[in-house]
Amino acid sequence: MAKIITLGETMVSFAPQEHTSLIYGPALNMRIAGAESNTAIGLCRMGHSVAFFSRVGTDSLGQFVLRSIRAEGVDTSLIIRDTEHHTGIMFKEPKLHAETVVYYYRTDSAASHMSCKDIPEQEIAGAEMIHFTGITPILSASCRQMVFQVMEIAAAHGCAVSFDPNIRLKLWKDQDHTQLMLDCISRASYLLAGLDECRMLYHTDDIECIAKRAFSSGHLRCLALKDGSRGAWICDGQDICQIPPADCVCVDPVGAGDAFNAGFLSGILEGKSFADSGVQGAFCGARATETYGDTEGLLTKMELEHALQHIAPVCR
């Protein structure tokens, strides 16, 4: 049985093979993309037993998603094959000297039809931790109900809850889901959030103030505030420590937060301190920015250990 379960939507991602606008019809690379499956793959590469819970269509794209995740060693037995709805897709458009633009086509996707009847209660009861992001409850009303039911089951069985708001304003559209994010945070054991996201949710960028608000629920064990190229902040409810950024040559920041989550949660599952887990997260997040795909830059356990010890690989 898996030690950690992640749940959410994985899409098929298409991106130009070169830095060319989609306007000009460039040849496209086909990969998978999804915050929770990215983290699952990252954890699996570091030696943890991980299962991914989701829905995909029975179309060829759904089969591509399944094969890609399964090839990384993630348990896909909890993924439901939906015969009535399609697998979600997205297009990435890299911009020189600007953030990558993402176009989502996930309305009425198979994953958006996840519901409480799909929940693998026995597997959650036997897991140490579940992880999800704020994307999943935004997908549909049934997804929202499912997420809160999962958290209730986890609480009943002593399973820790890891939550990353992962705010995507394109999915929020004209609605304000701030309270929904805060409701998820109030039930979380670990909050892995971007500092910019907390600025939106709490209307401040004061670290101490954010921590005080986040820990007010009484459930939170640790807050990891991700601040991109400036590193991260780790708080246990009393002390706050700053994690310096790891060196990297950034080509695409998409997926860095998911990689940080994998490194951080790997440390937690291995019984390391919050600070050491944060350092792991920083290294994993930095390395993920050095590739264009969401998962290609995720580190193995040995690669992470070498990075932490500043051991240069022998290439020739």
Q: Are strands 232-235 and 222-226 parallel, antiparallel or unpaired?
A: antiparallel
Per-residue confidence (pLDDT) for residue 97, from 0 to 100 = 67
Alpha-carbon gap, residue 151 to 153, rounded angstroms:
5
Which is the catalytic residue, given 82, 118, 164, 258?
258
59 catalytically annotated: no
The answer to whether residues 73 and 79 touch, using CB atoms and an 8 Å cutoff, is no
Cβ neighbours of 207 (radius 10 Å): 17
In the chain, the percentage of residues whose pLDDT exceeds 70 is: 98
Token output for 63: 């089969």
Token output for 235: 């708080």
Radius of gyration of the chain (CA): 18
The answer to whether residues 98 and 140 touch, using CB atoms and an 8 Å cutoff, is no
The answer to whether residues 42 and 294 touch, using CB atoms and an 8 Å cutoff, is no
Give the mean pLDDT of 7-20. 93
The pair phi, psi for residue 279, each rounded to 5°, is: -65, -45
The answer to whether residues 286 and 278 touch, using CB atoms and an 8 Å cutoff, is no
Residue 144 has pLDDT above 90, yes or no: yes
The answer to whether residues 222 and 236 touch, using CB atoms and an 8 Å cutoff, is yes
CA angle (235 as vertex; 256, 186 as ends), nearest 5: 85
The answer to whether residues 274 and 32 touch, using CB atoms and an 8 Å cutoff, is no
Alpha-carbon gap, residue 24 to 16, rounded angstroms:
10
Contact residues for 28 (Cβ-Cβ < 8 A; gap 6+)? 14, 15, 16, 17, 91
pLDDT digits (tens, 9 = 90+) for 149-202: 999 999 999 999 999 999 999 899 889 999 999 999 999 999 999 999 999 999
Convert the chain into a string of H (helix), E (strand) and C (coil). Answer: CCCEEEECCCEEEEEECCCCCHHHCCCEEEEEECHHHHHHHHHHHCCCCEEEEEEEECCHHHHHHHHHHHHCCCECCCEEEECCCCCCEEEEEEECCEEEEEEEECCCCCHHHCCHHHCCHHHHHHCCEEEEECCHHHHCHHHHHHHHHHHHHHHHCCCEEEEECCCCHHHHCCCCCHHHHHHHHCCCCEEEEEHHHHHHHHCCCCHHHHHHHHHHHCCCCEEEEECHHHCEEEECCCCEEEECCCCCCCCCCCCHHHHHHHHHHHHHHCCCCHHHHHHHHHHHHHHHCCCCCCCCCCCCHHHHHHHHCCCCCCCC
More confident call, 89 vs 288: 89
Give the mean pLDDT of 103-120. 96
Residues counted in the chain: 316
pLDDT digits (tens, 9 = 90+) for 72-81: 999 999 999 9
Residue 254 has pLDDT above 90, yes or no: no
Alpha-carbon gap, residue 10 to 88, rounded angstroms:
7
Question: How far apart are the two ends of the chain, measured CA to CA in Å?
Answer: 40
| Averaged pLDDT of the chain | 93
